[in-house]
């Protein structure tokens, strides 16, 4: 990518808003990410990060109900262990690319932000959300686990006690609670959400890039060895739960309920 451009990729669109790149997850009905979309998002952040003048980025979701419902669990129906491993590697790569992105990343949470969607939000520098947004890590109730890197990020940003409660219960919570624990920074009107996020990104982008990037490195403290350990922990856990009968039963039940509800 030699410059910013409007384009349609697998599962998302990008639009240049006068130097701010708005990335919109677009996989109806719930903006759940399949492996192709995860790969493309990771590649986008890696590609942008290599640009001499990398842009501020706004991440949002298409529609009014979902920012991102995490990974598309339908991909795992009848899939082999290798498919889950590949998808977890891709998602880990996305979180690493976001973690190391030197410019502002603003989350514009337009609806439900759960599972992998919440992990993505945790790697934004600033998060704006609408009143009706819901958040949480429901994986434990659906026979899955978040990526270890997302778990570590939640612990660092939200605190060990809050992260423990969210992860071990799988409960969803509202935007007021998200504001209390520091997941969300600003409550925004739905009609003004993206514009407000773009304004926030532009304001942050006006800071000296070399200083902004240095501060992000110190705050995020990226580390190759730690990331590799985190990836191996993610893959090891996935190998344990993939064929576990209880976890598989939870996934099958969740898939069945979604199908009956017309969401999948």
Which is catalytic among the residues 53, 64, 90, 139?
139
Q: Phi then psi for 13, rounded to 5 degrees?
A: -120, 155
Q: Is 77 a catalytic residue?
A: no
Instruction: Give residue 259's pLDDT.
Output: 53
Handedness of CA 70, 73, 74, 78 (dihedral sign): positive
pLDDT the model gives residue 5:
63
The helix/strand/coil state of 106 is strand
Judge whether 90 counts as a catalytic residue: no
**21: three-class secondary structure by DSSP:** strand
User: Whole-angstrom Cα distance, residue 104 to residue 216?
Assistant: 9
**C-alpha 132 chain-centroid distance:** 18
Q: Which of 53, 64, 90, 119 is catalytic?
A: 119
Give residue 77's pLDDT.
Answer: 77
pLDDT of residue 48: 97
What average pLDDT values come out for the chain (264 residues) when binned by 10 residues? 62 96 96 95 96 96 96 81 91 98 98 98 98 97 96 97 98 98 98 98 98 98 97 96 93 72 41
- Cα(22)–Cα(5) distance, integer angstroms: 10
The topology (CATH level 3) of 7-191+208-260 is 2-enoyl-CoA Hydratase; Chain A, domain 1 (3.90.226)
pLDDT at 211: 98
What pLDDT does 152 receive?
98
What pTM does this model have?
Answer: 0.93
pLDDT at 73: 80
pLDDT at 257: 65
Residue 6 is predicted with a pLDDT of: 64
Residues 6+ apart with CB under 8 A from 178: 129, 133, 135, 184
Burial of 207 (C-beta count, 10 Å sphere; 0-12/13-18/19+): middle
**Which pLDDT does position 166 carry in this prediction?**
98
Rounded to 5 degrees, φ, ψ at 60 are -145, 180
């Amino acid at each position: 990518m030699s410059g910013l451009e409007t384009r349609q990729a697998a599962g998302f669109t990008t639009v240049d808003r006068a130097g701010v790149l708005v990335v919109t997850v677009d996989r109806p009905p719930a903006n759940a990410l399949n492996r192709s979309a995860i790969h493309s998002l990771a590649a986008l952040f890696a590609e942008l990060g290599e640009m001499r003048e990398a842009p501020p980025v706004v991440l949002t979701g298409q529609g009014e109900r979902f920012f991102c419902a995490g990974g598309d669990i339908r991909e795992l129906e009848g899939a082999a262990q290798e498919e889950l491993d590949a998808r977890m590697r891709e998602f880990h790569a996305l979180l690493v690319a976001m973690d190391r992105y030197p410019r502002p990343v603003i989350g514009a949470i337009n609806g439900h932000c759960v599972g992998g969607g919440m992990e993505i939000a945790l790697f934004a520098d600033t998060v704006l959300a609408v009143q009706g947004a819901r958040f949480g890590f429901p994986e434990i109730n659906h026979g899955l686990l978040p990526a270890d890197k997302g778990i570590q990020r939640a612990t660092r940003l939200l605190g060990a006690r809050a992260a423990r409660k969210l992860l071990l219960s799988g409960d969803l919570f509202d935007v007021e609670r998200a504001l209390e624990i520091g997941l969300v920074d600003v409550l925004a009107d739905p009609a003004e959400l993206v514009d407000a996020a773009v304004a926030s990104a532009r304001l942050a982008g006006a800071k000296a890039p070399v200083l902004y990037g240095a501060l992000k490195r110190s705050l995020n403290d990226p580390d190759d060895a730690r990331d590799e350990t985190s990836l191996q922990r993610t893959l090891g856990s996935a190998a344990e739960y993939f064929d576990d009968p209880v976890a598989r039963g939870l996934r099958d039940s969740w898939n069945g309920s979604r199908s009956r509800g017309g969401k999948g």
